[in-house]
Every structure is written in structure tokens, then in C-alpha cells.
């Protein structure tokens, strides 16, 4: 694993990081990232999930490494490799599209049809210091093929909860694809989502990585689920969803 300058975390930060763990063995760790915690880097001067992995520093000065990331405001499952062989194995598996990621999102009205596939190429664009993704023709310069599945789980006059599965791994893919079909995610300021829902202000981007299925380094496929966080479950409940 990468050897970096260790961070000295407080006992409270170590305890907090350990409280996020959903599963771990000698090869992998799976955590439930809260909304508002950046996976890595960024311009905000605060600890990231990557920083907090120093809570698991080993005596040789190494520590676990993130296998993939979630947007700062997205909550849910993140996979972490505990050894260099595991990191190599999982990195290749992700490149080979052997991961299955399942998300839940809240939107203002159910899509029509209730389930389907969105096949729309995306291109990254820089606007000032911000990066966005845009839907572009498949033959446009810089276009990246992108596919997402969606399925409506619950719907009423207030809105809907949908299950989303990205078949490709583009930045902001689910957010842009849902906006493309006229159903942006509640709380998604960047891509046109409603800022209120069921008479309440949206507390954040209402997107949760609920489940991850991946090949374990020892051979079997494994599925880990993260329960919906309180802000997500509360907004569903207020809307009767």
C-alpha cells in the first residue's frame, strides 16, 4: 500500500471512523460513508475519509486504501483494500466492470416508464474551478459512452424513490442521466434538482449508495448493504414513501 505521512487522529476521530465499518476481514473493509464527508482531496480543509483511514494504521506505517469514491454529498457503501494484493485485485475487477453498484435516490415525480435504461454519452466540462458532466451526442469529441438502469421503488403525489444502477462509472453519471430524462435528484443544486420536497427543505443531495456486490480476493462474490441514513429515511417518511 502507499506509504504516506501518517496523520495523528484524535481518539474521537479513530472511534468515529471505526463506527462507520460495515464489514471487514483480513483483505477488505466496507464502510458506510456519511453525506458531507469527502472521499479524498478537495478544496475543503477538513479530514476526508481517506485521511480517517489512518485510524487503521499498521505497525509498518501502512494503512488501508480506498478502492473507489463517492461524491461528497452522497452517502453509502465504499470498499477499501487492506493489503496491496487486495488493492490490485479489486482495482482490476473494477476496471473489468465486475462491481455491481445499487443506489437509491429521491426524485420529485416518478419517471415514465417506471423503469428502464438510460443510454446517453457524457462529456466532462470545466466551468471556472468546477467540473460538470454534460449529455452529448455519442460521436461528439470527448464523449464517453454511459449507461444507467433505473427502477421505481415507491411513488405517490409527493414524489418517488428510485433504485439506480450505473453500468459505467462516469463522474456524476446517475445525477446527469436522471436530469436528462427530466427527473433530477432532489437536492441536486448542480443539475437542477428541487430544493424542497414534501414541504421540507432538502437537507442535501438525496442519493445513497445502498448496496455493493464485488468479487472478494478469496474468490467468492460478496454483497454488502448500507442502511439508509436518517436524513434520507426521514424525507421518505414525510412523503409517505
Which positions are annotated as active-site residues? 71
Alpha carbon distance 190, 132 (integer Å)? 8
Q: Are 169 and 103 in contact (CB under 8 A)?
A: no
Pairing relation of β-strands 147-155 and 115-119?
Answer: antiparallel
Bridge partners (DSSP) of residue 154 are 161
Coil vs helix vs strand at 208: strand
Backbone phi, psi, residue 179, to 5°: -65, -35
Alpha carbon distance 89, 86 (integer Å)? 5
Is the bond preceding 113 in cis, omega lying within 30 degrees of 0? yes
CA torsion angle for 122, 127, 130, 136 (degrees, to 10)? -10
Phi-psi region at 160: left, alpha or beta (left = phi > 0; alpha = psi -120 to 50): beta
Q: Are 211 and 226 in contact (CB under 8 A)?
A: yes
Closest among 218, 227, 211 to 93, alpha carbons compared: 218
Amino acid at each position: 500500500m502507499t506509504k504516506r505521512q501518517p496523520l495523528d487522529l484524535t481518539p474521537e476521530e479513530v472511534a468515529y471512523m471505526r463506527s462507520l465499518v460495515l464489514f471487514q476481514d483480513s483483505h477488505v473493509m466496507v464502510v458506510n460513508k456519511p453525506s458531507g464527508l469527502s472521499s479524498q482531496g478537495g478544496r475543503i480543509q477538513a479530514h476526508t475519509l481517506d485521511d480517517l483511514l489512518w485510524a487503521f494504521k499498521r505497525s509498518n506505517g501502512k494503512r488501508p486504501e480506498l478502492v473507489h469514491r463517492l461524491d461528497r454529498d452522497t452517502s453509502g457503501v465504499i470498499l477499501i483494500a487492506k493489503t496491496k494484493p487486495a488493492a490490485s485485485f479489486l482495482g482490476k475487477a473494477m476496471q473489468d466492470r465486475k462491481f455491481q453498484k445499487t443506489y437509491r435516490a429521491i426524485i420529485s415525480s416518478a419517471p415514465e416508464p417506471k423503469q428502464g435504461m438510460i443510454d446517453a454519452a457524457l462529456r466532462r466540462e470545466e466551468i471556472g474551478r468546477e467540473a460538470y458532466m454534460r449529455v452529448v451526442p455519442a460521436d461528439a469529441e470527448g464523449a464517453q459512452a454511459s449507461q444507467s438502469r433505473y427502477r421505481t421503488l415507491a411513488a405517490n403525489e409527493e414524489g418517488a424513490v428510485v433504485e439506480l444502477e450505473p453500468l459505467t462509472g462516469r463522474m456524476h453519471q446517475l445525477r446527469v442521466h436522471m436530469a436528462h430524462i427530466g427527473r433530477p435528484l432532489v437536492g441536486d443544486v448542480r443539475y437542477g434538482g428541487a430544493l424542497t420536497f414534501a414541504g421540507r427543505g432538502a437537507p442535501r443531495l438525496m442519493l445513497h449508495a445502498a448496496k455493493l456486490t464485488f468479487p472478494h480476493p478469496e474468490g467468492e462474490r460478496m454483497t454488502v448493504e448500507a442502511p439508509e441514513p436518517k436524513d434520507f429515511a426521514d424525507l421518505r417518511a414525510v412523503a409517505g414513501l
